Amino acid sequence: MAVDLGTSFIKSGLYDISGQCIAEAMEPVRDERPGPGIFIQKGEDLFASVLACMKQACARAENTGGTVEAIAFTGQMSGFMGVDKNWNDITTWSCSLDSRYMPYAKEQMELHKEEFLKTGGTNFPQMAPKYIWFKEEFPEESKKIKKYLMISGYVIGKLGKLDIDQAVMDTSYASWTGLADMNKGVWSEKICGSIGLEDKYLPRMVSSDYICGSLSEEYAKLTGLKSGIPLVAGAGDKVSGCLGAAIVEPGDSIFEASSYGEISCCVEEYRPDMEERRLDVLAAAIPGLYYATHFAAGSGITLDWAVNTFVRGPEENLKDAFIRADHMAAEVSPGCSGMMAVGLLGGSSMPLDGNLKGVFMGFDWSHGTGHFYRSLLESFSYDFSLALDRVRILYPEYKWDCMKMTGGGAKSKLWPQICADITGITHTTLDRNDVSMWGASILAGHAVGIFPDMKETAKQFVNDRRDFEAKHDMDEVYEKQKRIYREYTEIMGGFCEKLSASCVRSAVL
């Protein structure tokens, strides 16, 4: 069984040894948004959704609950939770959408920016500033906390009724905490010491195939499973997805065209991008490997917004609206006749610029809806291509001549071709849409000896669907546009900041 701990939904799936999902279920996760920048998800609500989802999956696969051999976890990789000695939620689960910690993050970045990237592997940590935020803003509550965790560690501890000292976090989550030494795979004494966090409050760091405990009798009865099933650490959704998509050899790469689009390039060591700061690093589920990674915050959310706002008709479903947007954009020539977008509506994460917002520029009366939509597709492709350029410089020993593509964007007949043309390399879509869940299932099977070789298992059960080869007749146009995109993203943050400040002053007046 794989359990995916998402922001909006919990998903669970039962897989057989041939890689087929024989039953799946999904449960919404309740959240509270009492004010601007506040996004609260209570641990008890999350856990209730997990139990309901596991129970549903078992019910849909009749008479299989007793044959589940292991359970592994995947899901959101960026957040923070503090619990007491009895696993009671003290802080609530604070994911990346909960921005109350931002003033503390900015202060930490001024002090520890270089160390966070050089040692911790990230341009913008989550757990490190959220620890300070909660300690300063809620001092009495923070005294009750015994462990700071990721959401998967909380769920595993509850399902297995573990002692609090048995709390774990698998290494795939370590980077975005900002607290780890990524080359050594341990908590960084230097970083933790600099913010006053004792390591006794941190979970034990373990491998993704580590068996953390076993399903308790109480929760076995509630879910329809047998008690004693091994609970396997699993990996964050980005890393688990790389395993499920067979991105398991140095030189492999993938573009996950999802809500938070991301490229991940498999490498054998971490080399920080101190010059341009376009890359983070994630520890792979397979020991000894890493992913040099770059994500565009909210890229898929921006495309949803564009289609819903400018394309979708009153009675039209979203899928049909996306297809129509693709058709309109396909009629537009590469480079959008001199028009360009910056699609980073939520700011730039790599390199970090929270002031940057969305921009359409260079348009006149000749530009239509197709131009605007295509310009967004091109903008994200420029962004990822600039990151891939840094990967090529930092890791010249690999060819980087092909990139797999998954996620909602891979369903488009246009965007993979744009990506191929702008990066200059073939983009290949896959025949699986469940790579994160399947990756977690591989980890579960490996932990109990069903899949002895994770690499071979991953390669065996995913196939290429379609190749989009780069068309080099537009290289000159796209290279010029990419340079312009880079120049504008470097300077536009300041203009956007002035606009925001002007709006704030107007609101006050």
Residue 465 is inside which H or E element, if any?
strand 464-468
Kindly report, residue by residue over 161-220, the tens digit of the pLDDT: 999 999 999 999 999 999 999 999 999 999 999 999 999 999 999 999 999 999 999 999
Kindly report, residue by residue over 294-336, the tens digit of the pLDDT: 999 889 999 999 999 999 999 999 999 999 999 999 999 999 9
Kindly report, residue by residue over 327-366, the tens digit of the pLDDT: 999 999 999 999 999 999 888 989 988 889 999 999 999 9
pLDDT at 373 over 50: yes
Cα 223 to Cα 141: distance, rounded to the nearest angstrom: 32
pLDDT at 505 over 60: no
Q: What pLDDT score was predicted for residue 168?
A: 97
pLDDT at 508 over 70: no
Cα 198 to Cα 87: distance, rounded to the nearest angstrom: 19
Instruction: State how beta strands 211-214 and 230-232 pair.
Output: antiparallel
Cα 405 to Cα 418: distance, rounded to the nearest angstrom: 12
Q: What pLDDT score was predicted for residue 8?
A: 86
Domains annotated for the chain, with CATH where assigned, are 2-235 (3.30.420.40), 246-504 (3.30.420.40)
Indicate the DSSP class of residue 306. H
Supply the pTM of this predicted model. Answer: 0.94
State both tokens at 240: 């688990």
Residues 469, 405 contacting (CB under 8 angstroms): no
Residue 115 is inside which H or E element, if any?
helix 102-118
